[in-house]
Amino acid sequence: MFYSYGRYYRFKLTAAQQSKREEKHRPFMFTAQLENAIPVPDPYKELVEKSNQDIAHFEELVAKVCAQRGESDRGVRNGFYTLLSRYENRFRILYSEGNHDAELKHAFLGRLHYYAKTWDKEDGCLELIDVLSLAIALGISIKNEDLAVLLQKIHAANYQDYFVDVLARHLYPTWQGNCQEFICGEEMEIIRRILRSPKDEAVTLLAEYLRNVWYDLHEDCSWYESHKGKGPVYYGYWAFEAVAIVKILGLDDAKLKQEQYYPYDLAHMSF
């Protein structure tokens, strides 16, 4: 039995005739005949269905508790964090599956909704960059209430990060932040070089970032090395901020198409 393109195939081995074996000088020689294909479950489809069920369950549960105790209740806040995680996973599953329709955008809007509700200045910088980058990639405007709330919170917290300011300014042109430092560490200095370089050089530097910086920069993220885990815990690795940079600078990303972590299809979607 062997596996190919989502199916297992049975095959039947028959020993070749002795004259054929002698002719080819092979004492052990067989012919193989394929039999019926055996369909196997699509792992991504199962993950999507499970994700949809989880989100529906938690949203119903959180809505009931919230109606009784209000949004400040600890249990409700925990529910918000759970839904934030579920929507984030759902987006990654859908994109990795190849789902590029409105369902993908809906998954992000769910994530944005709960991220705006729960964001705190002490939360990880990389997740904030991820969310703002996806807002740019998916064409979410400041007219979106959740995005407006998130940007207001970032401004009120006097959040100081160079790349966050660049992303926020693209989403909201009158953004006043002008920080020159990186909260995420000196590894992000290549981002400044990309943003300040001519277009051809920027593409080359962005490819370098994808190959040599991006993955290890995220070693503290919960999904890091998830491809080594057991069970359905790996949903793909995607550098969504690379798409935001391509859109901000108006780059030709043809040379990035084969880069392992570059979500090329996302850069070319229209909603």
Question: At 21, which amino acid appears?
Answer: R
Report residue 263 as tokens. Answer: 């979500």
- Element holding 105 (H helix, E strand): helix 102-118
The β-bridge relationship of strands 7-15 and 2-4 is antiparallel
Q: What is the pLDDT of residue 96?
A: 87
CA distance 127 to 85: 11
> Counting every residue, how long is the chain?
271
pLDDT of residue 3: 46
Contact indicator for 32, 84 with CB cutoff of 8 Å: no
What's residue 5's pLDDT? 44
Task: Give 10-residue mean pLDDT values along the chain (271 residues).
Answer: 50 67 58 58 73 91 94 93 94 85 92 96 93 97 96 95 96 90 91 97 97 89 76 80 97 95 92 68
Residue 234 is predicted with a pLDDT of 73
Question: Are the beta carbons of 39 and 7 closer than 8 angstroms?
Answer: yes
pLDDT on residue 48: 78
The alpha carbon of residue 24 and the mean position of all alpha carbons in its chain are separated, in whole angstroms, by 52
Determine phi and psi for 218, rounding to 5 degrees.
-100, 25
pLDDT, position 80: 95
Check if the beta carbon of residue 192 is closer than 8 Å to that of residue 162. Answer: yes
pLDDT at 99: 73
